Amino acid sequence: MFELRTPRLVLRDWLPEDLPTVRALAGDERVTRYQTWLRLDESEAACQHWLEEAIKHNSADPRSAYSLAMVDHSNYHAVGWLNWGDAEDASRGDVSFGYALLPELWGRGYMTEAVEAMLAFVFDIQPRVSIYATCATSNRASARVLEKAGLHLVDRWMHRDEALGIEEALGIEEEYRCYSLRRSEWRPEPRTTNGKTERLTG
């Protein structure tokens, strides 16, 4: 099983027993407002299918994507999702990524910690040349995660939430942003835990 470790998290492949976390993410409008991939019908069957597909894609050989559960060290519960893989738009970078976190853990730095670990793997281990992510300008929390992880704002455009193929499209038109980072620009940030300085690595 693939995994990355940070001071507070284990980022690992999804397991069948992570279904409650998928249901919690898919069932919270604060999450699905911006994360269209989790706009499921909230039924156990739909969430089960999503999880099975993630596990199947993770087992592909060669592997082109990493759909990971974010697991809290303190209680071993999955608390979020981090996904990266071959870029959806190659003109923006080699790799694109997205994420979601249970709202009760927002504002504690977990997502930035996870993204920094991902960057270490993408640039040091794979290694890839560039990476990007997009978010709505109104989603300031997500933009702060990207900025704190060292990505740079490179583009803005207007986007309508059509969520192609998903009945729950919101039809909201708003500004979106693209943040990107090249391997040559990346500088891993040290973190201090229990008085010891660590560097995040894959």
pLDDT score of 191: 47
Q: Which residues contact 74 (CB under 8 A, 6 or more apart)?
A: 8
In angstroms, what CA-CA distances link 14 with 28, 46, 80, 191? 20, 16, 11, 26
pTM of the model: 0.89
Of the listed ranges 47-56, 89-98, 192-201, the one predicted with least confidence: 192-201
Q: What is the pLDDT of residues 154-174, one digit of tens each?
A: 999 998 887 644 556 777 899
Query: In the predicted model, what is the mean pLDDT of the chain?
Result: 90
pLDDT at res. 23: 96
Least-confidence region, from 4-8, 17-21, 34-38, 176-180: 34-38
Reported as a single tens digit per residue, the pLDDT across 66-80 is: 999 999 999 999 999
| Closest C-alpha among 46, 47, 55 to residue 12 | 55
CA dist list (Å): 200 to 15, 44, 101, 104, 109: 24, 35, 20, 24, 14
**Range 100-129 average pLDDT:** 97
Cα torsion through 130, 4, 84, 183, rounded to 10: 0
Structure tokens at 52: 């099975």
Residue 53 has pLDDT above 70, yes or no: yes
Q: For residues 175 and 137, is the Cβ–Cβ distance under 8 A?
A: yes
> Please, what is the Cα angle at 63 between 59 and 69, to 5 degrees?
60
DSSP the chain: --EEE-SSEEEEE--GGGHHHHHHHHT-HHHHTT-GGG-----HHHHHHHHHHHHHHHT-SS--EEEEEEEETTT--EEEEEEEEE-SSTTT-SEEEEEEE-GGGTTSSHHHHHHHHHHHIIIIIS--SEEEEEEETT-HHHHHHHHHTT-EEEEEEEEE---TT-TT----EEEEEEEEEEGGG--PPEEEETTEEEE---
